[in-house]
Structure 1
Amino acid sequence: MGCLGGITSPFWSLRERRGVDLPHNKVTAEMPTRTMPVPSKVILPMQQHVGARCTPLVKRKDHVNVGMLVGHAEARTTADIYSSVSGTVTEVRNIYYANGKSDVAIVIEPDGEQTVDESVWPPEVPDYRMLVHAVKYSGIVGLGGAGFPTELKLDVDVDSIDTWLVNGAECEPYLSSDYREMIEHPDTIRRGLETCLDLSGVPHAIVCIEDNKPKAIELLERTFADDPRVDVLAMPTRYPQGAAHVLVRNATGREVPRGGHTTDVGCVLFNVTTMSCIGRFLEDGMPLVKRRVTVAGDAVANPQNLEVCIGTPIREVLEFCGLREEPHKVVTGGPMMGVSQVDLDYPIVRQNSGLLAFGEASARELETTACIRCGTCVNSCPMSLSPIEIMKAYRRGDMAALDRLMADLCMECGTCSYVCPARQPLTQNVRLARADLKAEKRKAKGR
């Protein structure tokens, strides 16, 4: 192995030191994963991924087993959904997300047996085409939070790829789910990555880990010590180091073009837990039905890393960990890019790596004051954008200015809002601007 552990990226010094230093608050980092008991019910939304919503394949009173296919769509951009428990379907109903959008969900009452479905069997993957085909039916999506179907990330022209990046940065505060995956399952990370390299012919891989995780860096160095194709790279600890375009730039020195993808610069990028899930799926054939979630925040009595059945209601997870006080704000994901929840009966879905509950004191809204034109948001933006100017252009409906300011490059990392001394809602406004600009461009293409 060409070991890069212990030194920073050779390309880091070529870039401005953007982003922000955040308090880590990773109190669960050295806590081994616990398995939460089977919940009283699971709720499986049919939209747990980027792309087309799945169609329910079961109806009320049907019996299901663990790993049984319950949601499927014929669209190319989608990901099948599987039951995480054995039991009886009690209803198929509408649910609503925090953003007001609706979905269809299958509700299952577990029987406590956790009987594995007879369809669960390790796949045979003699070549890369069969690997892509197998992963299509694994239910695996990007587990760093994006939820993009993994099969589509694999289904690329591998002859144009020379570097496979594995993202173990986990730069969000509180979260330690990916870290525990590296500590507890380096074997399945290796199985997944080496299978991808063997079958694709991609010659080089870099496992990227922030340097505040020395145990993970050392362990994965040992794990890949006899594989010269794989480097382990210690990245500077700075948010948002784990963002795709930032990681590619800092690990390889390559700049993803505007509107482009990592594959345009010869890179494929997978989250480390996604890679581990591929390795595990190849071993036992069990589709994605469970995931590790970091449960933390000052309202949580016993912060911990939990392996939960996908579809477990948030309320039951919080009750299992205990609460110091009634949460004032509950967030799925990390505090910077996570989503505030309005309904604790909403379930843990496969993109969720964290569940954070905060008390009233820490979750209070701060007063917004006038912009003082300090430029802090501009100097901190990892994409070198001007969030304040984008917000102004959005508010006056100036699409030409939004295009000129490249609002579509925003990754919604939250850095600008975090550093703004005036507490301006920059990220929220840039998110809306980005959506409007994309819609305008789609409209223009259709003319």
Structure 2
Amino acid sequence: MLKTFSIGGIHPEGNKLSAKSAIQELPIPKIATIPIAQHIGAPAKAIVKKGDEVKVGQLIAKASGFVSANIHSSVSGTVFKIDDVMDATGFRRTAIIIKVDGDEWLETIDRSKDLVTEITQTKEEIIKNIGEAGIVGLGGATFPAHVKLSLPPGKVADVLIINAVECEPYLTSDHRVMLEKADEIMVGIQILMKAIDVKRAIIGIESNKPDAIAHMTQISSKYPGIEICPLKTQYPQGGEKQLIAATIKREIPSGALPIEVGAVVQNVGSAFAVYEAIQKNKPLFERVATVTGKSLKNPSNWKFRVGTPVNDIIEASGGLPEDTAKIIAGGPMMGKALVSVDVPLTKGSSGLLLLAEEETARKDIKACIRCGKCVSVCPMGLEPYLLMVLAEKKNYERLESDSVMDCIECGSCSFTCPANRPLLDYIRLGKGKVGQILRARK
């Protein structure tokens, strides 16, 4: 029987339209717009200025704190300007804009395709160099990887869990990376195991990827301590707490982190980035993303350079369909709608979903019928209908006591509500305000 988490969950249609599409390389943009904040935490600080010549892989913005991440140039050329530009959220944020001239890489980057399996660096060197390479969680959260690997004093991990679930409908970039870069991923996992000093790693993969499960199982047999764990196709299987519950049957207490139950979780794409950083001395300046949609001519998986305009990757996939009503950055459950196709792709860009009008139109909101469906599907055991009411009434004290901060914003409640109530919208608003209150209290 396939493993899964025990509380809630839904099963939306998979729509993995691009699963058979091999990874292609997107052409280098003429101008790269590289934001200095592509991660959770403090924005990096630019260390280049207008007129500077830069190469691919060169550090252009330095982390400004422990929870921050370095930013490297994804292109070679001249810094045109440093300015505030609109990002994927619609806000104006600082970015380094580079006019591209050729494709000259730093000589220190190993560009060969040779697999390097020997790990020569110490655990301290690994963590330091992962931080230097600017690696963040590539599943969407973009939490700096070196921070996760720097275990708090007194905490010990006994297992590394690799999130290869990719439970969001439509997205297939992790799926393709597993099929095409399995050995590199395995070495990257061994590097992560050494960094946190564990002998066991579990790769969780949903059962709707049988080819990836078979391939990764075959490849992992050459690498001691790494096991493949097929999981039931059930959203949000890729949530950190849900993945831990499914794979090792441990429950994380409210407000706690995975290390409290002896686990560290990293995305499978991050494991590949770690391999490139440690074995090839390559910073994180490119990644794979899915571009998909039912009306799109060529649903595809692309390796792109950070700073490439969204429009470039859409055009490479066949162009914007006439019936497109909304472009989602990420998947349909947790992704955010873009305000423009001129915004840049970033480290956190796991996919773009182009939706037609009939797929995006909101239905009329009706009164709550007290059916309890939102409660039954909540993977965190919350009461979404009540949290929405409390958020509407701005009862932040009650929101806090009713554990609104435990919400993982998966959208299962809104998906299942027969009254079409915007549960997650209000919960997000309430959660944001409670978060402000908690930070002010500290």
Pick the TM interval, shorter chain.
Answer: over 0.9
Query: Among the aligned pairs, what percent are the same residue?
Result: 35
Q: Does 1:30 align with 2:29?
A: no
* Counterpart contact for 1:125–1:131, Cα < 8 Å: no
Compute the displacement of 1:121 (Å).
Answer: 6.2
Normalised to the residue count of structure 2, the TM-score between the two structures is 0.94
* Counterpart contact for 1:169–1:209, Cα < 8 Å: yes
Q: Which one of 204, 207, 219 corresponds to residue 208 of structure 1?
A: 204
Q: 1:99 to 1:74 in 2, by over 3 A?
A: closer
Q: Could you tell me which residue of structure 1 aligns to residue 150 of structure 2?
A: 155
CA distance in 1, matches of 2:338, 2:358: 18
Normalised to the residue count of structure 1, the TM-score between the two structures is 0.93
Q: Could you tell me which residue of structure 2 aligns to residue 3 of structure 1?
A: none
Q: Does 1:372 align with 2:349?
A: no
Q: Could you tell me which residue of structure 2 aligns to residue 411 of structure 1?
A: 408
1:44-443 residue pairs with structure 2 within 5 A? Answer: 44-97=34-87, 99-111=89-101, 113-120=102-109, 126-156=121-151, 160-322=156-318, 323-325=320-322, 327-443=324-440
- Number of residue equivalences: 434
Compute the displacement of 1:97 (Å).
Answer: 3.7
Specify every segment of 5 or more residues in structure 2 that has no aligned partner in the other structure, as ranges. none
Offset from partner CA, 1:39-66 (integer Å, 9 cap, x none): 1211101110001111222222221110
* Counterpart contact for 2:127–2:195, Cα < 8 Å: no
Amino acid at match of 1:89: V
Q: Could you tell me which residue of structure 2 aligns to residue 4 of structure 1?
A: none
CA distance in 2, matches of 1:235, 1:153: 24
Compute the displacement of 1:403 (Å).
Answer: 2.1
Specify every segment of 5 or more residues in structure 1 that has no aligned partner in the other structure, as ranges. 1-6
CA distance in 1, matches of 2:323, 2:47: 38
Q: 1:101 to 1:199 in 2, by over 3 A?
A: closer
CA distance in 1, matches of 2:243, 2:235: 11
CA distance in 2, matches of 1:33, 1:230: 25
Compute the displacement of 1:181 (Å).
Answer: 0.8
Q: Which moved more, 1:325-334 or 1:204-213?
A: 325-334
The residue matched to 1:416 in structure 2 has which SS? helix
CA distance in 2, matches of 1:137, 1:215: 34
* Counterpart contact for 2:126–2:278, Cα < 8 Å: no
CA distance in 1, matches of 2:352, 2:61: 25
* Counterpart contact for 1:153–1:268, Cα < 8 Å: yes
Compute the displacement of 1:410 (Å).
Answer: 0.2
CA distance in 2, matches of 1:85, 1:68: 9
Compute the displacement of 1:284 (Å).
Answer: 1.4
CA distance in 2, matches of 1:83, 1:228: 36
* Counterpart contact for 1:125–1:134, Cα < 8 Å: no
* Counterpart contact for 1:188–1:277, Cα < 8 Å: no
Compute the displacement of 1:119 (Å).
Answer: 4.9
CA distance in 1, matches of 2:68, 2:120: 21
Amino acid at match of 2:419: A
The residue matched to 1:362 in structure 2 has which SS? helix
Q: 1:154 to 1:400 in 2, by over 3 A?
A: same
Amino acid at match of 2:432: A
Q: CA RMSD in A?
A: 1.8
Q: Which moved more, 1:115-124 or 1:94-103?
A: 115-124
CA distance in 1, matches of 2:63, 2:156: 30
CA distance in 1, matches of 2:391, 2:273: 40
